[in-house]
Amino acid sequence: MAVVTGVIVANLNFIQPIENLIAADFNLSKAAVGLLAMLTQLGYAFGLLLIVPLGDIFDRYHLIQFMMLLSIGSLLLAFWAPNAGVFAVATTLVGITSVAPQIIIPYAGYLAPSLQRGKVLGMVLSGLLTGILLSRSFSGLLGSILPWKAIYLIAAGIDLIFLTIVHVQLPRDVRGHQALKYWPVIRTLPKLFTSQRALRGAAINGFCLFGMSNVLWSTLAFYLAAQYHLGSSVAGLLGLLGIAGVLAAPIIGNLVDQRSPRLTVGLGMVFSGLAFGIFWVLGHWLLGLIVGIVLLDLGTQFSQVSCQAIVQSLNKQASSRNNSVFMFSYFLGGSLGTLSATWAWSHAGWPGVCTVAVGFLLLAIGGHLVIGEPQRLTTD
């Protein structure tokens, strides 16, 4: 499950290190190519809202494979796209269809013993984060030696291999299909959000801290080109610094189980805030960028593991829907972070980018103080 989530979620991040290449090929401005990157995240957000709840209705073994197949088709469309308009449609579809990881995550939580749920989710989410960071390196390095569209063709081939593996290895869903209707299930989403304080707190924190993460990654290629005259390959290599977050994920999961998700969410905000403080003051030195990226990935991972553990502890019967609400907010924040950061880069440069991140951080602190997170996870 951890490996498959990483392989599929990688589809969302191929665009970030190669934005300069796409802008040059399609003759687009930096703000316009930032809009393309935002469409991927926004498509994913709406896929989470409208497709992931199907995990509470249909057999998840079959649903995961069906979404992987649609994702492969979207990647092939992105590879073929002859112009920016078709690519915009393709990258939106890549986002919408690459939601299988968010069906797998609640499935893993459903299968895990309650007292080990944080640890299990930490392991699966470490695979997710590995996919995110390796996708940037994969995309950046291939973009420096091959036409950038080839990245999408290679990704489609890799996804097809893992679709075969999933068909053979994924545990069958013993629940089968449920006696639920789609639209009544979708209509329960607002009620789940308003009736569960812990879900609201997790949604706001995820919105803000993933938004902060995308503020960096959506503008890093531009900053490296302007400040250091470096290309997409370096932007991809810097993505490997996120290995710190991957290694930390199971440890964070244990902290959530044994200490407090409120504590670990707070640590996520501290690390992310320190990261952008370093970017702002020391970002003109490569060492400052490296330290800041490590801290930012740690902060993002502290937030995601903690919030996922909170969400998956709430209600097993609504686990996919709760995850849908949380991840919709999460990627809505990510898409807003991408759009606002590329706009800020075009108008105010690096200080403007860092200012956008501070806005997300202040909102996260407000949610932490007003709504908060539980001191302990609920058990079943």
Q: How confident is the model at residue 235 (pLDDT cuts 50, 70, 90)?
A: low
Q: What digits encode the pLDDT tens for the residues 193-203?
A: 999 999 999 99
Q: Taking residues 241-246, what's their average pLDDT?
A: 71
Q: Is residue 184 part of a domain?
A: no
How far apart are the C-alpha atoms of 234 and 160, rounded to whole Å? 28
Q: What digits encode the pLDDT tens for the residues 32-49?
A: 887 888 888 888 888 888
How far apart are the C-alpha atoms of 168 and 357, rounded to whole Å? 43
Q: What is the pTM of this model?
A: 0.75
Region label for 377, one of left (φ > 0), alpha (ψ between -120 and 50) or beta (otherwise): beta
Q: What digits encode the pLDDT tens for the residues 202-228?
A: 999 999 999 999 899 888 878 888 888
How far apart are the C-alpha atoms of 13 and 137, rounded to whole Å? 10
DSSP string of 141-178? HHHHHS-TTHHHHHHHHHHHHHHHHHHHHSPP-TT-S-
Instruction: Name the more confident of 97 and 319.
Output: 97
How far apart are the C-alpha atoms of 199 and 282, rounded to whole Å? 36
Q: What is the CATH number of the domain that holds 195?
A: 1.20.1250.20
Q: Which domain holds residue 357?
A: 2-169+189-370
Q: Is residue 164 part of a domain?
A: yes
DSSP string of 310-372? HHHTT-GGGHHHHHHHHHHHHHHHHHHHHHHHHHHHHHHHHHHHHHHHHHHHHHHHHHHHHT-
Q: Is residue 55 part of a domain?
A: yes
Phi, psi of 45 (to 5 degrees): -60, -45
Domain total in the chain: 1
Q: Is residue 287 part of a domain?
A: yes
Q: How confident is the model at residue 182 (pLDDT cuts 50, 70, 90)?
A: confident
Q: Is residue 91 part of a domain?
A: yes
Q: Is residue 177 part of a domain?
A: no
pLDDT at 357: 95
Q: Is residue 376 part of a domain?
A: no
Q: What digits encode the pLDDT tens for the residues 116-135?
A: 777 777 788 778 878 877 88
Q: Is residue 137 part of a domain?
A: yes
